[in-house]
Chains A and B, each alone.
Chain A
Amino acid sequence: MTVPKDTALEAINDARALLDALVVSEWREMHVVSGDSEIFLARKGGGENPMRRSSAPLNAAAPPVPVPAASRAEMAVKVPHVATLVSALTVGTQVSAGQTVATLRVLGDESLLAATVSGTVVALDAKPGDLLDYDTPVVRIAEDA
């Protein structure tokens, strides 16, 4: 079986992982081209960024910044690594950013999952006892207007 991929944080995670790989390696720089994405990382004194050479001039118009929809945005709180869900807040609970929304367990250790925004819990995507893959949503929070 294959596991469906959530692409939301993929680019950031890829960049983090590549940075980790660069740090532990003896390489001075790293240039990865995959499909339509490209990333360049270098240590101090590493090579010139080849993307800078070919990219548009710096004073070109900035790309449009996505504007949040007028409706209340919904944020999913996801697990940062494989874990078993111990408990989660119920639908309808008001939360503020930083507040615990779920408790996770890995072997004997419990850890807390915090809300990233203030709002209302509108959905639960998992139930206590579930073994959750990395990056699986646990609760959804409708952000306060």
Chain B
Amino acid sequence: MAIKRLFVANRGEIALRIVRAAQALGIETVVAVSDADRDTAAARLADRAIVLGPAAASKSYLDPRLIVHAAKESGCDGLHPGYGFLSERAILPRLCAEYGIAFVGPEPDVIDELGDKLRARAMAKAAGVPLVPGSDCVATAADARREGDRIGYPVLLKASAGGGGRGMVIANNGDEAEAGFHRASAEAVAAFGDGTLFMERFVPLARHVEVQLMGDGRGTVVHFGERDCSVQRRYQKLIEEAPCAAMPDHLRAQLHQSAVNLAASVNYRNAGTAEFLYDVKREEFYFIEVNARIQVEHPVSEMISGFDLVQEQIRIAGGAPLSIAQKDVVLSGHAIECRINAEDVYRDFLPSPGRITRWEPPVGPGIRLDSHMSTGAMIPPFYDSMVGKLIVHGTDRSDAIARLANAIDALVVEGVPTTLELHRAIIAHPDFVANRIHTRWLEQVFLPGFGKKAA
């Protein structure tokens, strides 16, 4: 049954995005807010807003019983979890099912399976999706050399019991593998009382690529191409692009097929993303994990495909079959998104909440701004500091970069420091322009120089 009234269990730009998507489908909306979010764009636009609890997320956005109660009692027959908060916690769809509410996302059992890294890896292996080449337990230095030769250097020797980088050694050849075994094993014994090691291929120049998927829950899965999210700081994505221009076409086709096979093997329902590590030098990709939700960076896939993924999510949750067949998905041009945060980049990215005193969005062809901000709007200090996402679509990557530069220059945000200036500098950097970046480029190459020049 198609959803008639949708409960939005999130905040910020994604809450507003979901309200708009529902309204475009003629669906009523009820938005959940915390005490700090009463006067927000999504609350104003929705048919109704319900105050769950105080500002603290643990007493509002992270309480599944309050959320499902509010949804049920306000007559909602569907619930969209957005991203973050409870979006990948199986308790939410389980409670929804118990109270007759359609959850806009995967089955709770699938969320649980994919959330368990070891089980997700096993599922990927069963579906024929490549994993990082590695070993079983390595018992001796001679074993370490043999396994290293087989896997291919450089390799990482890791403590089985470990975590946090302790007992971890990189080896570039057979001799280093033997020497590294003794060192890593001794460290592992000292740190964990267990010297058991295993080995894994180390990828020094890796890109983060991911495939946008949408499944009907009956084994049909459509992909919307891949995204490249290699500009990261502390594993947080700052800039996302579609497609991954650094990937050759034959590999791209394999990547899409792997992602589709994996999702189809679990009869995946609704939107999801399969994440991979792309070894640029070897031209190989390895499975990382599946994110069982709509992602922050979904707009770049929408820009190059022309489809509204959130609307499709809502339709599928209402029981409709996929409205899009793979042959309908024609990708064109290049899209780039930058996440604008209220952070002081000159003070170690210190979150800087506060009131926006001036907000002037850029306008023009190929420019999209997903934001809940406006002049006078407040960024409360209790949640993440995202101000919005600026997305551009160009004919190719260099055209998209040029449009993004103009759009950043035209966007006026006053009242709080933002990461806009950082984004402007990143996209002007010769490495970014030439697409020579990798997941550690921002932290290793760009930021050290950026701090100095700016000081």
Residues of A within 8 A of B (CB): 1-5, 10, 13-14, 16-18, 20-21, 30, 32-35, 80-84, 106-107, 109, 131, 133-135
Residues of B within 8 A of A (CB): 33, 35-36, 38-39, 43-44, 46-60, 63, 65-66, 68-70, 72-74, 95, 99, 353-355, 378, 381-382
Q: Which of B36, B46, B63 contacts A81 (CB 8 A)?
A: B63
Contact present for B69 and A84 (CB under 8 Å): yes
Assuming the contacts A107-B65, A131-B70, asked whether A3 and B51 have C-beta atoms less than 8 A apart, the reply is: yes
CB distance from B99 to the nearest CB of A (A): 7
A83 CA to B59 CA, complexed, in Å = 13
A17 CA to B43 CA, complexed, in Å = 21
Assuming the contacts A2-B44, A34-B355, A106-B65, asked whether A134 and B95 have C-beta atoms less than 8 A apart, the reply is: no
CB < 8 Å A-B pair total: 95
Contact present for A21 and B53 (CB under 8 Å): no
Contact present for B50 and A131 (CB under 8 Å): yes
Contact present for B55 and A84 (CB under 8 Å): no
Contact present for A107 and B44 (CB under 8 Å): no
Which residue of B has the minimal Cβ distance to A106?
Answer: B69
A109 CA to B73 CA, complexed, in Å = 14
Contact present for B74 and A106 (CB under 8 Å): no
Contact present for B43 and A21 (CB under 8 Å): no
With a CB–CB cut-off of 8 A, which chain B residues contact A17?
A: 36, 54-56, 382
With a CB–CB cut-off of 8 A, which chain A residues contact B53?
A: 80-82, 134
Contact present for B55 and A81 (CB under 8 Å): no
Q: Which of A3, A16, A35, A83 has the most CB of B within 10 A?
A: A3
Assuming the contacts A2-B43, A34-B354, A106-B65, asked whether A82 and B51 have C-beta atoms less than 8 A apart, the reply is: yes
A35 CA to B355 CA, complexed, in Å = 9
Q: Which 9 A-B pairs give the minimum distances between C-beta atoms? A: A17-B55, A133-B51, A17-B56, A131-B73, A81-B53, A134-B51, A3-B38, A13-B54, A20-B56
Contact present for A109 and B70 (CB under 8 Å): no
Contact present for A134 and B52 (CB under 8 Å): yes
Q: Which of A21, A32, A83, A134 contacts B54 (CB 8 A)?
A: A134
Assuming the contacts A2-B43, A106-B66, A107-B99, asked whether A135 and B52 have C-beta atoms less than 8 A apart, the reply is: no
Assuming the contacts A13-B35, A106-B66, A109-B65, asked whether A32 and B44 have C-beta atoms less than 8 A apart, the reply is: no
With a CB–CB cut-off of 8 A, which chain B residues contact A84?
A: 69, 73
A123 CA to B69 CA, complexed, in Å = 26
A82 CA to B378 CA, complexed, in Å = 23
